[in-house]
Amino acid sequence: RETAHVVTVTGAAGQIAYSLLFRIAAGEIFGPRVPIELRLLEIPSAVGVAEGVAMELEDAAFPALESVSVTSDATEAFDGANAAFLVGAKPRGAGMERADLLTANGAIFRTQGQAINAGAADDIRVLVVGNPANTNAFIAANHAPDVPSDRFTALMRLDHNRALSQLGHKLSVPTTALGGMVVWGNHSLSQFPDTTYLTVDGKPVSGDLDTRWIEDDFIPRVAGRGGEIIKVRGSSSAASAASAAVDHMRDWVQGGPEGNDESWTTVAMVSRGDYGIPEGLVCGQPVRSVGGKLEVVSDLEISPWQRHRIDASVAELISEREAVASLGLL
Ligand code: NAX
């Protein structure tokens, strides 16, 4: 039997983890036969609940699940980790200022970045889900100087999948027929779901889409979908977020999407300066996974209208970075 892949999930008592953990244990990321050791990280007050989740994971008798453990110690949780899903974050409470939220989360992601730096496996892949996801990933990466920065990512695959779903309905095609979608920028209302390079069965179709619809319906609908879900469901997206996290990590590990060299997906990656995005910012970009590594598709042509939209979201990332720096979190 191969040695187990160590997968760390933070926020293990929360609602996203309750869906995510079972899909990881079912082998959806590394393959159904690759043994997995799950490490669940929680804050001390939620360790009990996480232990209940661990019991349920055991009760599912997943063939790939070798062991599950629960801890509130980050060093222990990330020791030898091959993959880490940083889902746990401090939610914005009533009356909480933006700076309070950044301070609380900054402390969490600094500690976790340091623990990853100290103990994770050489092939560690980090996906930050907890909000503000891009800036939390930025903080974690900054506290892990020995880990290559392309190992730190934030989740924008949910925004990407939401866009595919809307477009599939609009064009009456299955989402699997769609390619060339990208969501630029921050996982926030400023994001830019961009249909410029959209294809159906490999053929460009962006010219067929009404620009009014794109600007007035599509973009705000995708960017505001999280809020729409809260309104209708009564709590925030959980299973769809978990599903997007699985898509993200599976494609990263196994290559993709769909083994098609021409296609890409959206990953919030540490910028290396492509598309004029300041270096170091964690920004949604078109990304391929090749041989287990993520590569930005860096040669797309950008119109002035796209430039304006990308810059607006990047400006928000810059202001979050400035806030984090002024709080002494770097
Ligand atoms: P829950 O509040 O259900 O769960 C969060 C869990 O994190 C709690 O159990 C809490 O105890 C734990 N936690 C807090 N601090 C921790 C720490 N230092 N170490 C370990 N665990 C810690 O939230 P849930 O609905 O699961 O959402 C989790 C995060 O995902 C939130 O920040 C949320 O805003 C974010 N989301 C991000 C999305 C994305 O696309 N990037 C979409 C979905 C979701 O809104």
Query: Which one of 114, 136, 154 terminates a domain?
Result: 154
Q: In terms of domains, do 24 and 77 share one?
A: yes
On whether 255 is known to bind a ligand per the annotation, the reply is no
For ligand 1, pick from 131, 152, 230 the residue to mutate: most ligand atoms within 8 Å of CB: 131
- pLDDT given for residue 201 in this prediction: 93
Q: In terms of domains, do 84 and 169 share one?
A: no
Q: In terms of domains, do 221 and 313 share one?
A: yes
- pLDDT given for residue 258 in this prediction: 61
* CA–CA distance, 16 with 158 (Å, rounded to integer): 12
Query: Is 323 within the bounds of a domain?
Result: no
The number of C-alpha atoms within 13 Å of 8 and in the hemisphere containing its C-beta is 31
The number of C-alpha atoms within 13 Å of 46 and in the hemisphere containing its C-beta is 17
* CATH number of domain containing 75: 3.40.50.720
Q: In terms of domains, do 9 and 138 share one?
A: yes
Q: Beta 282-290 vs 293-296: how paired, if at all?
A: antiparallel
Q: In terms of domains, do 10 and 101 share one?
A: yes
- pLDDT given for residue 103 in this prediction: 87
H-assigned helices in 214-303: 219-223, 225-233, 239-254
Could you tell me which of 126, 128, 133 has the C-alpha nearest to residue 149? 126
Q: Quick count: other Cβ atoms within 10 Å of Cβ 202? A: 11
Query: Which one of 103, 124, 154 terminates a domain?
Result: 154
Q: In terms of domains, do 312 and 166 share one?
A: yes
* CA–CA distance, 72 with 7 (Å, rounded to integer): 15
265 C-beta closer than 6 A to ligand 1: no
* CA–CA distance, 290 with 236 (Å, rounded to integer): 33
Q: In terms of domains, do 297 and 167 share one?
A: yes
Number of domains in the chain: 2
Distance from Cα 74 to the centre of ligand 1, integer Å: 16
Q: In terms of domains, do 119 and 192 share one?
A: no
* CA–CA distance, 38 with 57 (Å, rounded to integer): 10
On whether 98 is known to bind a ligand per the annotation, the reply is yes
Q: In terms of domains, do 178 and 291 share one?
A: yes
Per the DSSP assignment, residues forming a β-bridge with 128 are: 86, 154
- pLDDT given for residue 262 in this prediction: 61
Query: Which one of 132, 154, 176 terminates a domain?
Result: 154
The whole domain housing 74 covers: 5-154
Query: Is 79 within the bounds of a domain?
Result: yes
Distance from Cα 159 to the centre of ligand 1, integer Å: 17
Query: Is 328 within the bounds of a domain?
Result: no
Q: In terms of domains, do 143 and 179 share one?
A: no
13 C-beta closer than 6 A to ligand 1: yes
Q: What angle do CA 269, 152, 224 make, to 5 degrees?
A: 55
Environment class of 146 (CB within 10 Å of its CB; exposed 0-12, middle 13-18, buried 19+): exposed
Q: In terms of domains, do 226 and 295 share one?
A: yes
248: annotated active-site residue? no
The amino acid present at 258, given as its one-letter code, is: E
- pLDDT given for residue 260 in this prediction: 55
* CA–CA distance, 249 with 127 (Å, rounded to integer): 8
DSSP state at residue 255: -
Query: Is 324 within the bounds of a domain?
Result: no
pLDDT in tens, the chain (330 residues): 689 999 999 999 999 999 999 999 999 999 988 999 999 999 999 999 999 999 999 999 999 999 999 999 999 999 999 999 999 998 877 788 877 888 889 999 999 999 999 999 999 999 999 999 999 999 999 999 999 999 999 999 999 999 999 999 999 999 999 999 999 999 999 999 999 999 999 999 988 999 999 999 999 999 999 999 999 999 999 999 999 999 999 999 998 766 555 689 999 999 999 999 999 999 999 999 999 999 999 999 999 999 999 999 999 999 999 999 998 888
266 C-beta closer than 6 A to ligand 1: no
* CATH number of domain containing 259: 3.90.110.10
- 282 phi and psi angles, rounded to 5 deg: -95, 110
Distance from Cα 288 to the centre of ligand 1, integer Å: 27
Q: In terms of domains, do 64 and 183 share one?
A: no
180 C-beta closer than 6 A to ligand 1: no
Which residue has the CA at smallest separation from atom 34 of ligand 1?
131
Could you tell me which of 74, 68, 72, 71 has the C-alpha nearest to residue 37? 68
